[in-house]
Amino acid sequence: MGKVCPTVSIRYRFWPFLNNSKKSKSIFMKAQKAGKILIIDDNEDLLKAAKIYLKRHFGQVDTETNPGLLPIMMSNEQYDVILLDMNFTRDVSSGQEGFYWLDRILELDSSAVVVLITAYGDVNTAVKAIKEGATDFVLKPWENEKLLATLHAALQLRQSKLEITQLKDQQQQFFQDMDHKFKDIIGQSPAMMKVFETIERVAGTDANVLILGENGTGKELVARAIHRNSKRHREAFVGVDLGSITSTLFESELFGHKKGSFTDAREDRAGRFEQAHKGTLFLDEIGNLPLPLQAKLLATLQNREVTRVGTNKSVPINIRLISATNMAIHNMVYDNSFRQDLLYRINTIEITLPPLRERVEDIMPLANHFIAIYSKKYNKDIRKAGESLIKRMQKYSWPGNIRELQHSIERAVIMCDRSVLQPEDLFMQKPSGPENQEETINLDHFNIEDVEKILIRKALQKHNGHITRAAEELGLTRSSLYRRLERYGL
């Protein structure tokens, strides 16, 4: 073969493979038997000895004397590590044939991990092999422990490469999904076409956007669509529900804090503004923000910088602001419950989302969309909503809008044992209308709660479930009306 020094006996050459020392066992006895190894060498005796030894440590060990079969073998099997001889019979000592097959392997699998072996290696050859894409370089004859350590390190590298490739694929798919202009927003009605048109016009700018609409109309989905189609789409989209943040945690949540600045501040923490730097910050339920906190938010937006709680150092921020509310925010300005200067700051562009009752054309595609989702989730064979059910849904006012429709469909899918949903499968509140029996007040037995309950129900019926308008009609705040709805079970 011409690849082994004459002074090296056959017995000495294969001694590392045959040696079954206690030292070798103690070092690698705990190693997990996993991974697929391919060894390419034209010395059959070496291949047999190597396979006997390595198959005790790896899940699969394949050998081959002919490197020309590499493309076929790699197409049939995905190897974790390829141990490749640099010198074959046709090219005894230059190592050029090994470099050729190294290139071919990396062409077939760019994430392949290749360890080159040779009996004529030197530092220059090793360096060249690494530059050409090899993972490591070993010399024959080798010691068991060194060979095994090299292969285990190569196996870990292979796993890391595969994980990185998977992450890149997921990221690419993520960006492809983001490129879908209005992903997850289902609508074909004229009202939604206007919304889509507005999103397209404003998304490419950095203008602040205020999204108005009732509960359940999809304000966050629109905010995400704006971000997805903006110049910042590869940066973070950070959402904050301002209605759920207490005044004591407002500054910490939005601006961050320094460790030890208050009792529960166990570590330094960036606030939502810093997290959204170079991306989009979505402030949901901004109408619920108390006046003192509105002033702090306004100062931050004007100065374009934040100061963490417990420090005096200002941090510059670069965000695109999108806000949303289900409240009559312009009326709140007249009532002095929302700052006019803050409203000017956040609503360069306004988008008003129509309630579901004003886009009845979208009820059928929305219903079938949710049917497909929950049929898969609950392993049901339900294909669509029946025509009679669609007609009934189109007559219903849907005070909870798309969120109510979604939850209703989910319940119906769970309970239904047919392939098509029917009206009896879907629970909806009794629709308002002249055919319903009028509630009357018993003048002989006054009860303030009964009177209030009837008035609230009539106000909701009059305004088709619109909470803000019903509250205005009754002279109540939205929060007060919500408390009464919960108390009376309406």
Mean pLDDT by 10-residue block, N- to C-terminus, for the chain (490 residues)?
39 40 43 77 84 88 88 85 77 67 85 80 68 81 82 87 73 53 79 93 94 94 93 91 82 82 76 91 92 90 89 88 93 90 94 94 93 92 89 91 93 89 79 44 58 81 75 80 73
C-alpha distance from residue 319 to each of 154, 282, 338, 368, 488 (Å): 43, 10, 23, 37, 43
Closest CA to 433 of 455, 451, 458: 458
What residues does 60 pair with on adjacent strands? 36
Q: How many CB atoms lie within 10 A of CB 312?
A: 6
Structure tokens belonging to residue 124: 């220059």
Return d(Cα 3, Cα 87) in angstroms, integer.
8
Residue 193: other Cβ atoms inside 10 A: 12
Task: Identify the CA nearest to 218 among candidates 403, 405, 466, 394.
Answer: 403
- What are the tokens at 327? 């409240």
pLDDT at 11: 34
State the Cα–Cα distance between residues 319 and 339, nearest whole angstrom: 21
Beta strand 269-270 with 209-212 is: unpaired
Q: Residue 431 has what pLDDT?
A: 47
Q: What is the pLDDT of residue 91?
A: 52
The residue type of 452 is E
Contact 101, 122 (CB under 8 A): no
Q: Exposure of 179 by Cβ count < 10 A (0-12 exposed, 13-18 middle, 19+ buried)?
A: exposed
Query: In degrees rounded to 5, what are phi and psi of residue 177?
Result: -65, -40
Evaluate the omega torsion of the peptide bond into residue 141 and state whether it is cis, within 30 degrees of 0.
yes
H-helix segments, 205-275: 219-228, 250-255, 272-275
Contacts (Cβ under 8 Å, ≥6 apart) of 132: 99, 102, 103
Q: How far is it, in rounded angstroms, from Cα 194 to Cα 454?
A: 37
Tokens of 280: 């989009």
What residues contact 379, with CB distance under 8 A and at least 6 apart?
Answer: none
pLDDT at 367: 93
What are the residues facing 323 on neighbouring strands? 210, 283
Asked whether the beta carbons of 297 and 342 are under 8 A apart, the reply is yes
CA–CA separation, 184 vs 146, rounded Å?
Answer: 54
Q: Tell me the pairing of strands 314-316 and 305-307.
A: antiparallel
**Range list of H helices, 335-477:** 340-346, 363-377, 387-395, 401-415, 448-462, 467-474
Residue 330, number of CB atoms within 10 A of its CB: 14
Q: What is the pLDDT of residue 126?
A: 65
Cα dist. 396→238, 389, 426 in Å?
A: 35, 11, 12
**Per-residue exposure over 439-454, b if at least 16 CB sit within 10 Å of its own CB, e if not:** eeeeeeeeeeeeeebe
Burial class (CB in 10 A: 0-12, 13-18, 19+), 296: middle
What is the pLDDT, as a whole number, of residue 410?
Answer: 93
Q: In whole angstroms, what separates CA 150 from the centre of its chain?
A: 36
Place of tokens 């497909």: 372
Domains located in the chain, CATH noted: 10-165 (3.40.50.2300), 190-354 (3.40.50.300), 357-425 (1.10.8.60), 448-488 (1.10.10)
Q: Distance between CA atoms of 401 and 465, rounded to whole angstroms? A: 10
- pLDDT reported for residue 35: 85
Q: Which helix (H) or strand (E) segment is 14 a member of?
A: helix 10-18
What are residue 204's DSSP bridge partners? none
* All residues at 6 or more sequence positions from 436 whose CB lies less than 8 Å from its CB, including other chains: 430
Cα 182 to Cα 195, 209, 217, distances in angstroms: 10, 17, 15
CB 139 within 8 A of CB 23: no
